[in-house]
A and B are shown apart, each in its own frame.
Chain A
Amino acid sequence: MGDQEEAFVTVFVDTWGDGYERYDEDSLFDLGPVLSELGGVGPTVSAGGLSGGPSSTFSLPRPPGLPMPDLARSAVELFETACAKVGLEHNGIARVDVLDERLLDLELAQEPESYAGVTEIAKLLGVSRQRVSELRSRPDFPSPIAELAAGPVWTRRSLNHFIESWPRRPGRPRKTA
């Protein structure tokens, strides 16, 4: 162990293909150890998804001063070499993401998304459910992400601005005849 903590980037490589069922399970399991042998750290191998081909998530040490595009190039070379070694074919690289691990650590530490319905919003605002239904007609009230049979659903995050800025007035709202 060195005195200085080593910096890493995390790499995501996606390829085009025809869905995970097409790929031999053993080849997918073989790819991880080969990526490790070639210098990939902690590789996880997937297949399928939107692009349909094999994909991998792994880390690489980040030598000081080495630009991200160079790391992306090395990551693709490493991935392609590993695929060739285990005989895993794909129809071309669909995507390469290289992220500083500090950003990923921040993402992992983030509070996961939470959701609210009319009852939860009523509690948050300290009003009745009926009042929430009235507030929904305001132009600054956020749109729900889904309308279910049980009622509308919002992400909790989408409500923050409204909750902070809503000009609450005491008493009943004035009737609009």
Chain B
Amino acid sequence: MDNREYPKVRAEAVRQGWVVRPTRRGEMFLSPDGRTATAWHAAHRSSDPHALDSLVRALRRTGGFRWPPPRRGG
């Protein structure tokens, strides 16, 4: 997944109940159950083509993030 998709992933995470908190080094994703924090390093944005895939996998695994986003009314 292209790192330029990050804003879409971030917006969907917020919609699914994650709290995304800006930090000095990037952004911290706090899971909806409040038990897990996942760091998104700002430097990843352009440098590593696997970074966004890893973020999505980590969010799925640690907090049940649903991606691709679920359809409404489905």
Contacts and interface: CB of A to CB of B under 8 A. Distances in A.
Interface string B32-60: 00011111110110001111111111100
A25 B53 CA distance: 22
Contact of B48 (A41, A47, A49, A114): A41
Interface of B: 1, 23, 25-26, 28, 31, 35-41, 43-44, 48-58, 61-62, 66-71, 74
6 contacts: A28-B39, A33-B43, A43-B51, A44-B54, A46-B38, A49-B31
Contacts of A25: 23, 25, 28, 39
B43 A55 contact: no
A16 interface: no
Interface residues of A, number: 33
Contact of B62 (A26, A29, A55, A59): A55
B39 A114 contact: no
B39 A113 contact: no
Given A25-B28, A108-B67, A156-B74, A42 B37 contact: no
Given A55-B62, A57-B57, A112-B69, A46 B39 contact: yes
A57 B25 CA distance: 18
Contact of A10 (B31, B43, B57, B71): B57
Nearest to A101: B53
B41 A33 contact: yes
A143 to B, nearest CB: 20
B58 A44 contact: yes
A46 B30 CA distance: 10
